[in-house]
């Protein structure tokens, strides 16, 4: 029987979930992730926190576990190689291939060139750290290095995302849930002014070795390399100290978030629009979060995406989903971020 090639393929939407550890990877797979993303225990990935990430044995185990259950594994090599030791990033690329990952997530063009020359069959994804905010940039990476997917920075409006999708053959992945970054990813060096280390080079914003907590008569203080970032009253929820989310004295108001207030991106309400415009994947932020977080968020988003794929015209976020995400949202607050700009 001949295949009817006039029928369009049904829309799909991958759920891409974080794995900061092997238990987190298994939690994501078990609760319905289509893909998981992970990193090595070094500066080659942008979540280089102590106690997180994977050694070779854990990656091999995670790849086997995921593949046995129909889930893909991506490796983030999304920091920028340094002149003193570029071989570390190249060796990580070789390792990704040898361990059987399905794609690597890259930001550096030089590393992409190495991949295309050494591993021409390897699937390449452009990281959010690559800061590609318009289709011309994405198409350049596609033309020169054959990237298959691009992760958009969290600074574009919904209409801008639509324009990008329409003007590139590359699959587009967007962030759907998790902590926000006030900067254009890949262009932030703010933490380096205090710690001397940038997330783009060392793989971590506010490295744990520079973080200190201290109880004082004025409250619990968080400091980054000695710099006071925030002070919390008794019983107040305390966030991880980053410069962009600290409270500062502004006209004698000490409760003022001068740059960004801690809150989580939550785009559950936008799923039909994202599906309709042709977005290919929804990414969940949080490799630094616990396996319990990964399980809870993955479960909610799996149900929501399945519901939206089955009945996009009748989709509405369920109150139980929102309540579940409230429990793990940063600052217990949600926002649509740049996707929704009421002043435009």
**Average pLDDT of the chain to the nearest whole number:** 86
> Looking at residue 121, what is its pLDDT?
95
Are residue 163 and residue 68 in the same domain, yes or no? yes
Are residue 25 and residue 55 in the same domain, yes or no? yes
Are residue 218 and residue 149 in the same domain, yes or no? no
- In terms of Cβ atoms closer than 10 Å to its own Cβ (0-12, 13-18, 19+), residue 226 is exposed
Are residue 253 and residue 268 in the same domain, yes or no? no
Nearest to 127 by CA among 45, 211, 26, 28: 45
Are residue 324 and residue 246 in the same domain, yes or no? no
Are residue 25 and residue 106 in the same domain, yes or no? yes
**In residues, how long is the chain?**
344
Most confident of 94-98, 185-189, 265-269: 94-98
In a domain, 120, yes or no: yes
Alpha helix stretches (DSSP H) within the chain:
22-30, 56-68, 87-98, 109-118, 135-145, 158-166, 192-195, 199-202, 271-277, 291-310, 319-326
Sign of the four-CA dihedral 297, 76, 50, 26:
positive
Domain range enclosing 309: 14-180+263-339
Are residue 77 and residue 109 in the same domain, yes or no? yes
> Looking at residue 225, what is its pLDDT?
81
Q: Tell me if 231 sits within 8 A of 219, measured CB to CB.
A: yes
In a domain, 202, yes or no: no
pLDDT in tens, 127-143: 998 989 999 999 999 99
> Looking at residue 229, what is its pLDDT?
81
In a domain, 185, yes or no: no
Its pTM surpasses 0.85: no
- In terms of Cβ atoms closer than 10 Å to its own Cβ (0-12, 13-18, 19+), residue 186 is buried
DSSP output for 269-328 = GGHHHHHHHT--EEEE--TTS-HHHHHHHHHHHHHHHHHHHH-GGG----HHHHHHHHTT
> Looking at residue 111, what is its pLDDT?
96
In a domain, 270, yes or no: yes
Question: Among 257, 292, 320, where does a domain finish?
Answer: 257
Are residue 136 and residue 164 in the same domain, yes or no? yes
DSSP output for 263-276 = -EEE-GGGHHHHHH
Most confident of 166-170, 262-266, 314-318: 166-170
Q: What is the mean pLDDT of residues 162-179?
A: 94
310 vs 47, higher pLDDT: 310
In sequence order, what are the beta bridge partners of 173?
151, 281
In a domain, 127, yes or no: yes
Q: For the chain, what is the domain count?
A: 2
Q: Tell me if 298 sits within 8 A of 32, measured CB to CB.
A: yes
Q: Is 269 left (phi over 0), alpha (psi -120 to 50) or beta?
A: alpha
In a domain, 244, yes or no: yes
Question: Among 257, 278, 297, where does a domain finish?
Answer: 257
Rounded to an integer, what distance in angstroms lies between the CA atom of residue 204 and that of residue 188? 11
Are residue 141 and residue 246 in the same domain, yes or no? no
124 vs 212, higher pLDDT: 124
> Looking at residue 203, what is its pLDDT?
61
Residue 253, pLDDT above cutoff 90: no
In a domain, 31, yes or no: yes
Are residue 94 and residue 145 in the same domain, yes or no? yes
> Looking at residue 295, what is its pLDDT?
97
Q: Tell me if 127 sits within 8 A of 115, measured CB to CB.
A: no
* Exposure b/e, 112-143, CB count within 10 A at least 16 = b: bebbbeebeebbbbbbbbbbbbebebbbebbe
Question: Among 196, 225, 257, where does a domain finish?
Answer: 257
Are residue 36 and residue 161 in the same domain, yes or no? yes
Are residue 224 and residue 100 in the same domain, yes or no? no
């Amino acid at each position: 029987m001949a295949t009817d090639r006039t029928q369009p393929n049904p829309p799909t939407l991958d759920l891409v979930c974080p794995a900061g550890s092997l238990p987190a990877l298994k939690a994501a797979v078990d609760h319905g992730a289509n893909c998981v993303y992970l990193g090595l225990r070094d500066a080659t990935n942008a979540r280089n926190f102590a106690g997180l990430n994977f050694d070779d044995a854990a990656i091999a185990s995670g790849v086997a576990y995921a593949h046995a259950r129909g889930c893909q594994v991506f490796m983030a090599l999304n920091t920028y190689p340094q002149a003193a030791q570029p071989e570390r990033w190249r060796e990580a690329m070789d390792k990704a291939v040898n361990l059987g990952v399905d794609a690597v997530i890259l930001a550096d063009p030089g590393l992409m060139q190495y991949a295309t020359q050494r591993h021409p069959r390897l699937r390449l994804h452009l990281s959010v750290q690559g800061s590609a905010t318009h289709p011309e940039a994405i198409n350049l990476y596609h033309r020169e290095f054959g990237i298959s997917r691009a992760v958009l920075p969290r600074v574009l409006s919904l209409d801008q995302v639509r324009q990008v999708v329409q003007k590139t053959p590359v699959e587009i992945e967007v962030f759907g849930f998790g902590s926000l970054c006030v900067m254009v990813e890949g262009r932030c060096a703010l933490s380096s002014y205090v710690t001397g280390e940038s997330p783009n080079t060392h793989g971590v914003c506010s490295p744990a070795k520079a973080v200190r907590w201290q109880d004082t008569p004025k409250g619990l203080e968080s400091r980054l390399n000695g710099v006071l970032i925030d002070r919390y009253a008794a019983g107040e929820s305390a966030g991880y100290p980053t410069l962009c989310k600290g409270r500062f004295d502004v006209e004698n108001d000490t409760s003022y978030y001068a740059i960004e207030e801690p809150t989580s991106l939550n785009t559950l309400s936008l799923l039909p629009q994202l599906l309709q415009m042709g977005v290919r994947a929804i990414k969940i932020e949080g490799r630094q979060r616990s396996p319990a977080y990964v399980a809870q968020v993955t479960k909610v988003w799996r149900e929501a995406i399945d519901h939206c794929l089955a009945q996009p015209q009748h989709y509405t976020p369920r109150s139980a989903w929102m309540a579940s995400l409230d429990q793990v949202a940063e600052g217990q607050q949600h926002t649509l971020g740049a996707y929704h700009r009421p002043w435009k």
